[in-house]
Amino acid sequence: MSESFTIGADNAKFQLRISTGAARLAGDIANFKEAAEAGGKYLLQSAESTADATEGLTLLTASGANLAASNAAERLILDGWISPLTELISTFDFSNISRISFQAELSVLRVAGEFLPVSIADRLLSQLLDRLNAPGNWRSYPMRNYKAEILRTVCSVYLSASSQIRSEIRTNIITINPGEEDLQYTYSLLSELIPDAEWTENELKELRSIVNDNCISMPQSLQILFARRSEEERSKLLEKLPTEFTWALKGFPDWSEIPIEIASEIVDQCVVELKKIMSELKKGVFSSGGFPYLTCLIHFNLLYPTISKWEVVLGYLSLGPLTSQNLSPALSLLADHNHQLDPYTRKALREALEKLRRKKETVFLFPSSNKEKESAFAAVEYAYWLLSNESPTPAERAILSGYSPEMALAVLKLKALNNPDEIVEGISGYIAASDPTLNAGVVELLALSLRAKHRSTAIKSLLSTIIQNSGEGALAILSRVVNAQIFKDFHAEDQNWLLHALSNSQSAITRWKAQQLRANASKMTK
């Protein structure tokens, strides 16, 4: 690094701007991309104002570094810096897709498009729809490679658009490129990213007819979409459950609709698959494929105790592998329903987890990083505490849900948590942390702590303070954390407060989630 870079931050910024501008003027694309990426990262790391953040993200996006740009956009959201994002996105122009920044711009738009004003969202989505509809586009480079990213982006920004553009998007997705491969991919996007309730009956008929007209089998994602909308379609999907339950169960919002006879067949299938995996594990052959079967088995064990196979769950837990991806969803399910366990099963599960706690470093572990390893240990600790206490504390209930394993482990070290006010005291030191993911863990912990039997006004007060300071970042986290199951456990006063906060968000997705929570709350009170 030259001496000029060490003189001061202002001079470093100047040098980065000079090198980036010189490369651009010289037409030196390789050096421009390198200088722009380095400059963008530097400005973002040292940003003291929204102007610095905007300039940094602009450079990073211009360099074409789509992963770095999307990560930076996510971090700005968690920090509550929404204005630099919307300011940058408002300058995007997708009428020209040959620029080196095109993919990076799509990445940033996918992350932050939910915060756009309707006018900007409509303009950008209209441009992307034009790109999709241009004659011959799919046969030419670069559209052939960009198609998947454009479709994903359109669906991700969907809720920020006006009703007219939303209708155009659905129409375009229905009619675009009716090849089997394209249908499968397109419909998997629409079923995941466009709310089911948005689809009209006529549009659903068109979806069905385009599949029939092209003489192809009904994509799984479409079967799931139809099943969520129709009891008759769910009845048809029941026939596929015993053998294709790993995807077909997604069509059932409420698994209690599934008859015990079919549930019993699914349980038997889960047992067969888990025993195969357990046999491989005993031979020292690692397999990560047990997670969906383990979670499904626990779910039906809780739903239908007469067909439960807890001994298989215990056997799998005794072998591992202890990774957060495998254990967290399954143990989280146990955590939310631990009160349904009979004393014998509770004791057996507690003993199995106690063995895992004692083994620690020697347990059958395949973590990809120390952070994942810590998260796996936190999951075990969390479930063990829940199964050991009749009245788990709010912090104990919240440990698994934090974004940050460090936050989870820190909370575990706080021994005396019977008084919810102590949660506030215990985590106050983390609020000022520079790492936004750590603050995300704090927000989740506080939000989930509102479920406490002895509610603490101090918790809500601290959560309110964080929302005021980080704004949309905290609201985005809240909207991810608080599902219908969690929301119903809140006091009425806290429900109203939370709905008010989410409903006033700049994010279209957060506002939509608030509507869903309000609708679910109304159903539960009827």
- Give the residue extent of every domain in the chain: 3-229, 230-378, 393-526
Please, are residues 124 and 92 in contact by the beta-carbon 8 Å criterion?
Answer: yes
Residue type, 288: S
**10 Å Cβ neighbour count for 283?**
6
Highest mean pLDDT, choosing among 28-32, 114-118, 239-243, 521-525:
114-118
| Cβ density class 265-275: b for 16+ within 10 Å, e for less | bbbebbbebbe
Structure confidence at residue 388 as a pLDDT band (50, 70, 90): low
Structure confidence at residue 402 as a pLDDT band (50, 70, 90): very low
CA 84 to chain CA centroid, Å, is 23
Structure confidence at residue 480 as a pLDDT band (50, 70, 90): confident
Q: At residue 362, does pLDDT exceed 50? A: no
Q: At residue 121, does pLDDT exceed 80? A: yes
Both structure tokens of 217:
């089998």
Please, are residues 353 and 387 in contact by the beta-carbon 8 Å criterion?
Answer: yes
Q: At residue 179, does pLDDT exceed 60? A: no
Return mean pLDDT, the chain. 71
pTM over 0.95: no
What is the three-class DSSP state of 255? helix
Q: In this prediction, what percent of the chain has a pLDDT beyond 70?
A: 57
Which has more confidence, 227 or 27?
227
Q: What is the mean pLDDT of residues 201-210?
A: 83
Contacts for 303 with CB less than 8 Å, ≥ 6 apart = 255, 256, 263
**CA-based nearest residue to 317, from 269, 286, 350, 270:** 350
pLDDT of residue 264: 92
Q: At residue 6, does pLDDT exceed 70? A: no
Q: At residue 176, does pLDDT exceed 60? A: yes
Distances (CA, A) of 337 to 23, 314, 330, 524: 60, 17, 11, 18
Q: At residue 297, does pLDDT exceed 80? A: yes
Highest mean pLDDT, choosing among 7-21, 412-426, 470-484:
470-484
pLDDT of residue 257: 85
Structure confidence at residue 473 as a pLDDT band (50, 70, 90): confident
Asked which of 188-202, 239-253, 400-414 is least confident by mean pLDDT, the reply is: 400-414
Structure confidence at residue 267 as a pLDDT band (50, 70, 90): very high
Q: In this prediction, what percent of the chain has a pLDDT beyond 90?
A: 3
Asked which of 165-174, 299-308, 452-461, 481-490 is least confident by mean pLDDT, the reply is: 452-461
Structure confidence at residue 14 as a pLDDT band (50, 70, 90): very low
Asked which of 40-44, 174-178, 376-380, 433-437 is least confident by mean pLDDT, the reply is: 433-437
Q: At residue 521, does pLDDT exceed 50? A: yes
**What is the widest separation between alpha-carbon atoms in the chain?**
76
**CA-based nearest residue to 332, from 376, 372, 390, 366:** 376
pLDDT of residue 520: 73
pLDDT of residue 290: 66
pLDDT of residue 360: 54
